[in-house]
Amino acid sequence: MNNNDEAIDDDNDDEEMLTEMMSSQMYLTPLYVLKHFEKIWTNEKEVLTIYLAALRSPQHSITHVHNNPISLFFFEVLPGLPSKFRPSRTSLTNTLRGATNEEQLNNLWLKMQITVNSIFDSSLDNRSGTRVAKGIRQGIEKKEGLFRMHMMGKRVNYAGRSVISPDPFIAIYEVGIPGNVHPGANFVELDDGTIRRLLPNNL
C-alpha cells in the first residue's frame, strides 16, 4: 500500500466519522481533534498564521521541532500536582462504568480530560460530589489574584488595570501594555539586575 492509498483510507475514515457525528452525538477523543486541526493547518496555514501569533513566532522552539505546529495547543504530558494540593481521589471502580471495554475507555478518557481542564480552570469541573483544587485561572483572577493583589503603585492614574483576556495578535509569551500607561510602569528589571525601558516593538 502506497501513500496515496493510505490518504484515501484516511479520507474514508473521516467521512464515516462525520456521518456518525451528524446522525447522533458522540464523544470526540483528543487524538481525533488533533488530527482534525492538523488537516486545517495543512489547508489553511496562511490564514491561521495571520490570526494566531503563536504559530508564526520564530522565538517559540516548538514551531521548529514539529512540522505541524498546531500541536502547540495540545498537551501530551502534564505534570501532576503534589499530594498536598490534591483533593483525595475517588475509587477507580466508580470510573470503570460501561458494559463494554470501549465504553469504559471513553469514560476514563473523559474523566482525564475534565481533570486536565480543572488544573487550568476549576470551574470547568462540574462533576457533583467532587472536591476540586483551585485552578490556575482562580489563582490569577479577581482582586485576590496574583496580579491585582500584589500590584505595586497607585490605583487609578498611576497603574494599569490588569485584564485576563486572550488576544490573537499577541504571542503567548508577550504582555500588552496600553500606550498611555504611566511611564513608571514601562520599566522591567532583568535577571542581571539592570533596568531598561521597553521598546515599542517589545510591547
Per residue in 42-97, pLDDT (tens digit) is 888 888 888 777 777 655 444 444 566 777 788 888 777 776 666 655 555 555 56
C-alpha cell at 160: 494599569
Helix (H/G/I), strand (E/B), else coil: 130 = coil
- Tell me the DSSP string of 62-104: HHHH-S-GGGGGS-S--PPPPGGGSPPPPPGGGT--SSSHHHH
Instruction: Work out the pLDDT band at 153, boundaries 50, 70, 90.
Output: very low
Q: What are phi and psi of 82, to 5 degrees?
A: -60, 155
Residue (of 145, 180, 179, 150) closest to 163 by Cα position:
145
Per-domain boundaries in the chain: 1-74, 79-140
Q: Of the spans 42-46, 148-152, 156-160, which averages the highest pLDDT? A: 42-46
pTM confidence score: 0.39
Label residue 155 by pLDDT band (50, 70, 90).
very low
Q: Output the nine-digit C-alpha cell for 14.
A: 473521516
Would you say the C-alpha torsion 127, 131, 135, 141 has a positive or negative sign?
positive
The DSSP letter of residue 43 is H
Q: What b/e readout covers 50-61, taking b as 16+ CB neighbours within 10 angstroms?
A: eebbbbebeebe
Place of cell 470501549: 102
CB-CB contact of 115 with 125 (8 Å): yes
Q: Residue 125: pLDDT band by 50, 70, 90 thresholds?
A: confident
